[in-house]
């Protein structure tokens, strides 16, 4: 029988109150808090912490404080990843960024979601859907990537956009919900 962590990562309904998941969440909070302090004075230590927190990192990742995430181990970033201040990654399922991605301040990436049915939702179970971002994407400040979206290569997401559907390569999207406003 799969563990609650295995169910969570695979997108099945899981119990977020599971002891292993609560411990993993506390670990992520501790590492993120330590990262947020270390990046100010000790970039080498901050990189060690980011490598310990995230599932994988490419060359030269950099995240301005404050970084927030649920578990960290589901976050994978490519080479030259940059995230500005106050980004949030709800990583109950994998979040994958390609190479040369840039995030503006307060970008929020959600994989966590809840049942629409009120009885199911109030029973306390959750599930998630992975988010994937291709190479050379630029995500403007305060943008939100909702569970299950895939963002193509070379995409620009305008500030404040709420992405609810997949975005093809080489376009700019903006608005709520985000729509293609320009081909690049």
Active site residues: 114
Mapping DSSP to helix (H, G, I), strand (E, B) and coil, where does residue 74 land? coil
Measured CA to CA, the distance from residue 76 to residue 96 in angstroms comes to 5
Please give the order of strands across the beta sheet that includes 108-110: 68-69, 88-90, 108-110, 144-145, 162-163
Alpha-helical runs (H) found in the chain: 4-9, 19-41, 43-53, 118-122
Measured CA to CA, the distance from residue 59 to residue 101 in angstroms comes to 12
CB atoms within 10 A of CB 59: 9
């Amino acid at each position: 029988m799969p563990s609650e962590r295995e169910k969570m990562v695979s997108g099945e309904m899981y119990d977020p109150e599971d002891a292993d998941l609560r411990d993993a969440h506390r670990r992520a909070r501790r590492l993120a808090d330590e990262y947020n302090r270390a990046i100010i004075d000790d970039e080498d230590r901050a990189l060690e912490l980011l490598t310990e927190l995230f599932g994988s990192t490419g060359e030269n990742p950099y995240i301005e404080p404050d970084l927030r995430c649920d578990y960290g181990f589901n976050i994978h970033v490519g080479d030259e990843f940059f995230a500005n201040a106050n980004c949030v990654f709800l990583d109950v399922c994998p979040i994958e960024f390609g190479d040369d991605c840039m995030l503006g301040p307060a970008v929020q990436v959600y994989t966590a979601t809840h049942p629409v049915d009120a009885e199911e939702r109030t029973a306390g179970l959750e599930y998630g859907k992975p988010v994937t971002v291709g190479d050379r994407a630029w995500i403007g400040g305060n943008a939100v990537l909702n569970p299950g979206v895939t963002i193509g290569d070379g995409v620009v997401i305008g500030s404040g956009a709420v992405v609810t559907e997949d975005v093809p390569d080489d376009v700019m999207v903006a608005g709520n919900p985000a729509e293609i406003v320009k081909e690049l």
